[in-house]
């Protein structure tokens, strides 16, 4: 379904660009060519808005069309958003996440607390969170060794197959290298990994994360508890946003320190990752990585400045071929595109290093950062004249040289490069080919190479593709009025991008499971394109005609009104999560999550049979690591109350029993 949303988003942008292209070429371009400022100077300058005289009444047409483009963008994207919200992936459920500040040894105490505080809420399933990162890694390696061993046995023709056990053993030509039997090597490796997995399974209960996923019977129950936990502190007492209610409590609330729990919606089970990263460590990594990328971004624009400076100031006079138009016009855009193509890779791996708690937030952060960095590097700095040191000095001392006609040519060349070169490179997938080549070189045997060939596909990175496409779309819309000749090449880019992405989604990449918020945020970022067009048009009008010119005031009023509406919408969206009164949003799952529960007695918990998401990792499910008390259970109000000491002792005995049987309670990475 994510691929459907993504391709639908591209089709809506194509439809929008078709209308913008027709309007810009049929109306804006002829109007720009009626001017005479660049009649005998720059042929390309005659097609830009800079060709019109100051105070020309035709400038009103540009302001009106900018407003029309904004309205049209809102209408088209609104239609796309309505289709996203109308599609439901499966039964709607709600998930709540609790963060405990301590480890309680009594699961029954937690259930008793919620039974008293919320007597009408029925718990269907509980999945505890443990640090199983190492366990999942070992199990993946075990499965990998088992598959390679299977390939060796299938290929076995009765002759002993020898292999070099070292890394890149297939490339080693030394006769002195020791070779071993392939089947024996992978059999031993699989047994060793299986033993490590068993040891890790026994050690998992000693590493709780303080997180639990609790599924309720209905969505209304989950919303009710979430509303109660989202109460705000007001005047020393816990109350809702309207200060008309308190958080419900029970006899165990003070003992369990319920007031320190945090409750949020949880994503799809396949959307969860990196839960073992603590809060403090995550924030430190996040700040450090993003500061490094921000500093690196500064140096990514310097090659273009150097190339243009060499041509502008004739620094390299002995090298005559540097003065050709190809070097001064096409090569800077190609160089900038090359660095902007490198930026998604940098942002991708930096976002992975941040360790987000679910893949949707990871893709969302990737899309936001990539869009901001690309916009800053591709659109903002070149528009201010910072692609050339000579123009930089002109920009410092002459404010009317900010929007030069040759900058429009720069962006036209950039869009052409992105359409023709960029689409072809995405179809070739050279980074994936490089990774595949490295993996093949590191293979130790023919069976391992065959395994690499069968497992070379990766998930489609929606965050990277959204950020890249939206950056080019913003460039197109920002200059659709100032330089209307950019629009047909922008339409060509979107068409080629749509065809390439559709091919890759069907034949190349694996499917991904993301939250709808990723697609909705892409819509919000697309709305920034016509707003930037208004900003560019306003700056041009102020610099050419003055602040008090009618066109400047009209553009300023529309711009301020648009920004106010956008900010209000954004902040109201955020305030909605603080308010416990309204949760009318599209949710994927309705489960409640609680932390640090420990099963005391399996016979006391019999849950009703109902359908709920499985939050166990696939690796643990394959290992037959199940709940010690079963998957269906429900708390009984007649269960006896245990003292903390007795509960702790009972849990210790239960855990020892589970270890002896190699059973682990609800594990989660």
DSSP 419-476: IIIIHHHHHHTHHHHHHHHHHHHH--SHHHHHHHHHT---B--HHHHHHHHHHHHHHH
Pick the residue with more confidence: 394 or 378? 378
Per DSSP, what are the bridge partners of residue 95? Answer: 591
> What residue numbers bound the domain in which 150 lies?
132-206
Query: Rounded to whole angstroms, how far apart are CA atoms 458 and 464?
Result: 14
One domain, residues 530 and 486: yes
Mean pLDDT, the chain, rounded, equals: 70
Tens-digit pLDDT profile for residues 95-130: 444 443 333 344 455 555 566 667 777 777 667 777
One domain, residues 527 and 629: no
Nearest C-alpha neighbor of 641 from the set 324, 261, 255: 255
One domain, residues 222 and 247: yes
- 551 located within any domain: no
Query: Rounded to whole angstroms, how far apart are CA atoms 486 and 477?
Result: 9
Tens-digit pLDDT profile for residues 377-389: 777 777 765 554 4
Q: Which pLDDT score, from 0 to 100, does residue 636 have? A: 36
One domain, residues 144 and 34: no
Query: Rounded to whole angstroms, how far apart are CA atoms 81 and 67?
Result: 21
pLDDT at 658 over 80: no
* Angle made by CA atoms 365, 366, 369, in degrees to the nearest 5: 80
Q: Which pLDDT score, from 0 to 100, does residue 307 have? A: 53
Query: Rounded to whole angstroms, how far apart are CA atoms 551 and 530?
Result: 17
Query: Which residue, 512, 546, 580, sits at the end of a domain?
Result: 546
One domain, residues 322 and 201: no
Most confident option among 541-545, 596-600, 618-622, 641-645: 541-545
Q: Which pLDDT score, from 0 to 100, does residue 22 have? A: 95
One domain, residues 55 and 193: no
Q: 67-81, 100-114, 332-346: which has the minimum mean pLDDT? A: 100-114
Q: 255-259, 386-390, 555-559: which has the minimum mean pLDDT? A: 386-390
One domain, residues 305 and 195: no
How many domains does one find in the chain? Answer: 3
Q: Which pLDDT score, from 0 to 100, does residue 41 have? A: 65
- 222 located within any domain: yes
- 581 located within any domain: no
Residue 28, Cβ density class (10 Å: 0-12 exposed, 13-18 middle, ≥19 buried): buried
Q: Which pLDDT score, from 0 to 100, does residue 263 have? A: 74
Q: Which pLDDT score, from 0 to 100, does residue 203 have? A: 80
Query: Which residue, 180, 206, 232, sits at the end of a domain?
Result: 206
Tens-digit pLDDT profile for residues 129-149: 777 778 878 888 888 888 887
Cβ neighbors of 497 (< 8 A, separation 6 or more) are 10, 419, 423, 426, 469, 472
Burial annotation 337-355 (CB, 10 A radius, 16+ → b, else e): bbbbbebbebbbebbeebb
- 481 located within any domain: yes
- 335 located within any domain: yes
One domain, residues 124 and 136: no
Tens-digit pLDDT profile for residues 479-532: 999 889 999 999 999 999 999 999 998 888 887 777 778 888 888 889 999 999
One domain, residues 46 and 180: no
Query: Rounded to whole angstroms, how far apart are CA atoms 431 and 451?
Result: 20
What average pLDDT does this structure show over 436-440?
86
To 10 degrees, what angle do helices 405-417 and 486-507 make? Answer: 20
- According to DSSP H, which parts of 24-100 are helical? 29-33, 59-86
What average pLDDT does this structure show over 205-228?
74
One domain, residues 340 and 228: no
One domain, residues 516 and 641: no
- 578 located within any domain: no
- 556 located within any domain: no
Report residue 610's pLDDT band, with 50, 70 and 90 as the boundaries. very low
Query: Rounded to whole angstroms, how far apart are CA atoms 507 and 646?
Result: 59
Q: Which pLDDT score, from 0 to 100, does residue 319 have? A: 41
**% the chain with pLDDT above 70:** 59
Query: Which residue, 546, 581, 612, sits at the end of a domain?
Result: 546
Pick the residue with more confidence: 348 or 30? 30
Q: Which pLDDT score, from 0 to 100, does residue 313 have? A: 52
Residue 209: CB atoms within 10 Å: 20
One domain, residues 353 and 472: yes
Pick the residue with more confidence: 58 or 155? 58
- 440 located within any domain: yes
């Amino acid at each position: 379904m994510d691929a459907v949303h993504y391709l639908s988003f591209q089709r809506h942008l194509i439809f929008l660009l078709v209308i913008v292209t027709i309007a810009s070429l049929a109306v804006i371009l002829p109007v720009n060519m009626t001017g005479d400022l660049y009649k005998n100077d720059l042929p390309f300058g005659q097609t830009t808005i800079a060709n019109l005289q100051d105070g020309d009444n035709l400038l009103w047409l540009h302001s009106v069309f900018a407003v029309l483009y904004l309205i049209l963008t809102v209408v088209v994207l609104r239609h796309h958003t309505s289709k996203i919200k109308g599609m439901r992936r499966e039964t709607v459920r709600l998930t709540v996440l609790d963060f405990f500040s301590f480890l309680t040894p009594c699961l029954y105490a937690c259930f008793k607390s919620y039974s008293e505080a919320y007597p009408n809420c029925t718990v269907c399933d509980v999945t505890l969170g443990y640090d199983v990162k190492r366990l999942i890694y070992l199990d993946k390696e075990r499965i990998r060794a088992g598959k390679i061993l299977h390939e060796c046995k299938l290929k076995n023709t009765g002759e002993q197959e020898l292999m070099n056990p070292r890394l890149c053993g297939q490339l080693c030509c030394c006769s002195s290298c020791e070779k071993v039997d392939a089947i024996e090597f992978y059999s031993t490796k699989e047994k060793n990994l299986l033993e490590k997995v068993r040891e890790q399974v026994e050690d998992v209960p000693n590493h709780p994360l303080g997180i639990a996923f609790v599924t309720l019977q209905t969505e209304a129950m989950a919303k009710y508890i979430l509303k109660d936990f989202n109460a705000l502190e007001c005047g020393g007492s816990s109350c809702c946003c309207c200060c008309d209610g308190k958080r419900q409590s029970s006899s165990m609330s003070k003992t369990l320190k319920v007031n320190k729990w945090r409750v949020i919606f949880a994503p799809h089970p396949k959307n969860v990752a990196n839960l073992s990263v603590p809060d403090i460590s995550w924030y430190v990594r996040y700040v450090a990585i993003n500061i490094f990328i921000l500093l690196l971004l500064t140096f990514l624009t310097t090659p273009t400045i150097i190339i243009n400076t060499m041509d502008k100031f004739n620094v390299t006079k002995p090298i005559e071929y540097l003065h050709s138009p190809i070097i001064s016009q096409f090569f800077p855009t190609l160089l900038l595109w090359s660095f902007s193509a490198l930026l998604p890779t940098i942002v991708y791996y930096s976002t992975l290093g941040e360790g987000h708690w679910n893949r949707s937030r990871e893709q969302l952060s990737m899309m936001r950062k990539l869009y901001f960095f690309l916009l800053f590097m591709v659109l903002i700095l070149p528009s201010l004249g910072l692609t050339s040191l000579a123009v930089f000095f002109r920009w410092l001392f002459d404010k009317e040289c900010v929007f030069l006609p040759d900058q429009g040519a720069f962006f036209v060349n950039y869009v052409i490069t992105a359409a023709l070169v960029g689409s072809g490179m995405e179809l070739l997938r050279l980074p994936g080919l490089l990774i595949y080549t490295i993996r093949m070189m590191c293979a130790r045997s023919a069976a391992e190479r065959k395994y690499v060939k069968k497992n070379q596909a990766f998930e489609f990175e929606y965050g990277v593709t959204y950020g890249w496409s939206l950056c080019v779309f913003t460039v197109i819309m920002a200059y659709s009025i100032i330089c209307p000749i950019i629009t047909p090449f922008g339409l060509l880019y979107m068409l080629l991008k749509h065809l390439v992405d559709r091919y890759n989604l069907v034949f190349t990449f694996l499917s991904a499971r993301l939250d709808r918020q990723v697609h909705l945020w892409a819509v919000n970022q697309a709305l920034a394109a016509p707003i930037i067009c208004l900003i560019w048009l306003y700056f041009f009008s102020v610099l050419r005609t003055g602040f008090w010119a009618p066109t400047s005031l009209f553009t300023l009023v529309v711009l301020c009104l648009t920004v106010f509406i956008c900010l209000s919408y954004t902040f109201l969206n955020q305030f909605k999560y603080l308010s416990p009164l309204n949760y009318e949003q599209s949710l994927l799952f309705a489960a409640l999550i609680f932390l640090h529960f420990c099963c005391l007695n399996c016979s006391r918990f019999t849950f009703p049979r109902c359908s709920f998401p499985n939050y166990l990792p696939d690796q643990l499910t394959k290992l037959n690591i199940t709940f010690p008390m079963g998957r269906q259970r429900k708390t009984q109000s007649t269960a006896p109350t245990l003292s903390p000491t007795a509960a702790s002792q009972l849990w210790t005995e239960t855990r020892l029993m589970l270890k002896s049987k190699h059973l682990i309670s609800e594990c989660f990475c």
